[in-house]
Chains A and B, each alone.
Chain A
Amino acid sequence: AQKVTQAQTEISVVEKEDVTLDCVYETRDTTYYLFWYKQPPSGELVFLIRRNSFDEQNEISGRYSWNFQKSTSSFNFTITASQVVDSAVYFCALSVGGGNKLTFGTGTQLKVEL
């Protein structure tokens, strides 16, 4: 069975601080896919990134960066110079196999204050 753990329930930072959201996953499959989604107060899940298990290259997109480490089964997400608009619940998710159903973590509530 697959499992995703987001140990940080809630994080509060002051605007312009950097913040890292942790994600640890468990699977016995050798081919799997990892995702991050953002759920702002409006409620709609917004796709941020997809990473394949065979591609450990880290990625940067503007203020967002992702660190994928198979050795520690982690897929962490860093926001640089956080802004109030980054306030949301962030979910890490995992899929395996052809069906690609997503197994989500419990989410991390990020609050960015002025």
Chain B
Amino acid sequence: DTGVSQDPRHKITKRGQNVTFRCDPISEHNRLYWYRQTLGQGPEFLTYFQNEAQLEKSRLLSDRFSAERPKGSFSTLEIQRTEQGDSAMYLCASSLLPTGVQTYEQYFGPGTRLTVT
């Protein structure tokens, strides 16, 4: 049973550089979510996709952040001109599509830990 995978697991970059993270969801899941988690806090929502459509973006997602899910399968999250404040764990999750009033839980990947020096 393949869960959500993320690559890389760790990334150290210098301020001002661009970074890109990849997420591979559970294969039958239509929904894909990105969250950010800083030390001692719960994850915070960034954006989500339903198939290839990006349906919502948080105000946390500044213009330097962009996410794609080109074929409705894997997704990428790019951060341009990284800042020290971008240092965090970036989590990807996927779920089945809600049906009627029924929603489904999100399954999380192991995360990508970003350190900006």
Given A102-B106, A104-B42, A54-B101 contact (CB < 8 Å): yes
Contact A103/B108 with A52-B101, A54-B101 known, Cβ cut-off 8 Å: no
Q: Which residues of A contact B (CB under 8 A)?
A: 4, 31, 33, 35, 37, 42-47, 50, 52, 54, 91, 93, 95, 98-107
| B67 interfacial by beta-carbon distance below 8 Å | no
Q: B103 contacts which of A42, A44, A95, A107 (Cβ < 8 Å)?
A: A95
Identify which of A91, A102, A104 gathers the most chain B CB atoms within 10 Å of its CB.
A102
- Known A47-B105, A101-B58; further 11 A-B contacts with Cβ < 8 A: A31-B101, A35-B105, A45-B43, A50-B103, A52-B101, A95-B103, A100-B95, A100-B104, A102-B33, A104-B43, A106-B42
Q: Give the residues in chain B near A45, CB-CB below 8 Å.
A: 43, 91, 93, 108
Question: Is residue B98 within 8 Å, beta carbon to beta carbon, of the partner chain?
Answer: yes
Contact across chains for A102 and B43 when beta carbons are under 8 A apart: yes
A41 CB to closest chain B CB (Å) equals 13
Q: Please give, as numbers and ranges, the residues of chain A lying within 8 Å of B110 by CB-CB distance.
A: 42-44
Residues of B within 8 A of A46 (CB): 108
Q: Are A47 and B106 touching (Cβ within 8 A)? A: yes
Distance of A54 Cα from B91 Cα, bound (Å): 29
| Measured CA separation A33–B105 after assembly (Å) | 9
